[in-house]
A and B are shown apart, each in its own frame.
With several copies, the nearest count.
Chain A
């Protein structure tokens, strides 16, 4: 055997690196792509989403901004309207309140309000999630908030492969795409590491379609519908429960808008039992939407009452026992599945 016939050692990278690699590929492909946000330059993004981009593309295409989210997200919109394809970072999704008007009344609505004549091909990426004691203003997921509002695609990768493929799809999409990445799933050296945050990812370009859920693990007893870091936790729990003879199917939504209701319904049709695991707030959000999708299709599909595990309707507290008390941890996921099986 010659050396070239030996498969190269599989290349494993973190989710953070996968994101920035997706951006870099599109920046090389298309001069209209540029990156803008706080600390996206030399720093590489507080959560690593722009790692190495500044070195390759320089300050003209990887632009550090003032702390003016309304200003620079609005500027992203204006640039997109004129044919650029900006990738803009909002450092934490928790900060949406200082710039929500640009996001929801402009980024999301211009295409519709213009009767389809103006496109806003822009990616807004933002870090979500808790688990490291960053308290009430820096730990939220809030994807339910954005999925409720029309005009924005919302994608939420759970692993390095999807992170890269969804990023490339998002940049190429002619619509505004909100790309939400979980800090705890980035594979950062300075956070608790989940082995699923580092994985094999092809070096070349590839896309993951927006609007298509993935069955992350097949099973026949109970369906967990979930997304983002909770997919990693749910897979851990599924492995653990397999030894108890409980066969869990894990559906990774990957995208909330559009929502792949077919994959959800097919899984629930098979198992008859559903648990929605959501790190966002419990009420008026994702868990309810899944309940509606099922029960407007056929409430009789459910052989057991609908179950949801989400952040109870409280702000995220700081102290570890408090925060762990409200997050959908592996223990709580396992307990909820066991109850569904009882």
Chain B
């Protein structure tokens, strides 16, 4: 496998997981006894990506500075894997002046122009924006690519269709990534999607489509590598559907009563211990490594939380800035 560095993939997944686990804890910490969505140091909706690390890590391993990502409401894993500064991102989630957007955006609106990273809380609407970034990259004569990320629920939104057609028609350097975690809030894929693989839909635009099963980071790495290389070489867009796992609720506070038996096996399907086992078997990872990697991630996360919580809050008057440039 081309340029594959298993340990890097593993470390990045752990780093993301430790981040999400810590945000989970902090989010709920000051919302007890009952969850009050608007209370605490981190208010608002919180969509965490635990279980979906293979998608972000496998894709972003192929990206270089200047490549763009548009992510949806569940953005942390792609943000971190793409190099968005953990401190500034965390400060944004805490609504601080040192945040990426000085507290104006919040967790669904992370903008890091330096890394060409953005996200949006409106389903599938990052897809057209990524097409436009790809248009710009092409017009500017660069070999940069744009990655458009959305969930399997999003693939039934009109913007998905229009974007795939545009990108194929104009031969744009975009890779459309669908994270199929089986659920769109409480609606299972079988109740939202008429067919079983979105890779089939790609054919309707004359575009290659690949579905990666089983949340396997190496399989993602391989498929994403091909799609990204294709885009970079000027050969046009592709679609990559990744069958992944929503380890936790849709957002924090979601009791997941609707999820039924699917919930029983969720921990067994966690991709991180599974990959650790694979690497251990291959001799690439020891128990000590596991602990060291986790500790390093924790230290980075601790520092980010510390950075965020010690940063100043904006004041009411700041709300009036930045409507216009």
Contact = CB atoms under 8 A, between A and B. Distances in A.
Direct A–B contact in the complex, CB atoms closer than 8 angstroms: yes
Given A112-B322, A116-B325, A105 B43 contact: no
B26 to A, nearest CB: 14
The 6 tightest CB contacts between A and B, nearest first, are A78-B132, A74-B128, A325-B316, A319-B95, A318-B106, A132-B38
25 contacts: A41-B186, A42-B257, A43-B185, A65-B192, A66-B166, A66-B193, A69-B157, A78-B133, A81-B133, A81-B136, A105-B122, A106-B125, A110-B111, A113-B111, A114-B113, A115-B99, A115-B103, A132-B38, A137-B122, A175-B325, A318-B104, A318-B105, A321-B313, A325-B315, A325-B317
Interface string A74-93: 11111111111010000000
Interface string B126-169: 01111111111101100000100000011011110011011001
Contacts of B193: 66
A284 interface: no
Interface of A: 34, 38-39, 41-43, 46, 64-84, 86, 94-95, 97-98, 101-102, 105-106, 110-119, 121, 131-138, 150-151, 153, 174-175, 189-192, 312-315, 317-326
B74 interface: no
Contacts of B319: 312, 314, 317, 322-323, 325-326
Interface string B34-46: 1111110001110
A209 B143 CA distance: 38
Interface string B176-194: 0000000011110001110
B132 A80 contact: yes
B101 A113 contact: yes
Contacts of A42: 186, 257-258
Nearest to A86: B132
Contacts of A79: 132-133, 135-136, 139
Contacts of A137: 108-109, 120-122
Nearest to A139: B44
A153 B323 CA distance: 10
Nearest to A36: B135
B166 A72 contact: yes
Interface in B205-262: 253, 257-258
Contact of A102 (B106, B128, B313, B315): B128
Interface in B27-81: 34-39, 43-45, 68, 70
Given A115-B99, A115-B100, A84 B324 contact: no
Contacts of B140: 82-83
Contacts of A191: 36-38
A89 to B, nearest CB: 13
A332 to B, nearest CB: 10
Nearest to B156: A66
A84 B68 CA distance: 15
B133 A82 contact: yes
A86 B128 CA distance: 14
Contact of B38 (A68, A83, A133, A136): A133
Contact of A105 (B70, B120, B139, B324): B120
Interface of B: 34-39, 43-45, 68, 70, 95-96, 99-106, 108-109, 111, 113, 116, 118, 120-125, 127-137, 139-140, 146, 153-154, 156-159, 162-163, 165-166, 169, 184-187, 191-193, 253, 257-258, 313-325
Contacts of B123: 67, 95, 98
Contact of A84 (B118, B136, B157): B136
A174 B192 CA distance: 30
B185 A39 contact: yes
Contacts of A70: 125, 128, 158-159, 162
A80 B321 CA distance: 21
A105 B122 CA distance: 8
A189 B253 CA distance: 11
Contacts of A38: 184-185, 187
A113 B105 contact: yes
Given A67-B154, A102-B129, A317-B314, 16 more contacts: A38-B185, A39-B187, A41-B187, A67-B153, A68-B165, A71-B156, A74-B128, A111-B325, A121-B325, A131-B38, A132-B37, A133-B43, A133-B106, A137-B109, A318-B101, A321-B103
A278 B139 CA distance: 41
A117 B111 CA distance: 8
A72 B134 CA distance: 12
A225 to B, nearest CB: 23
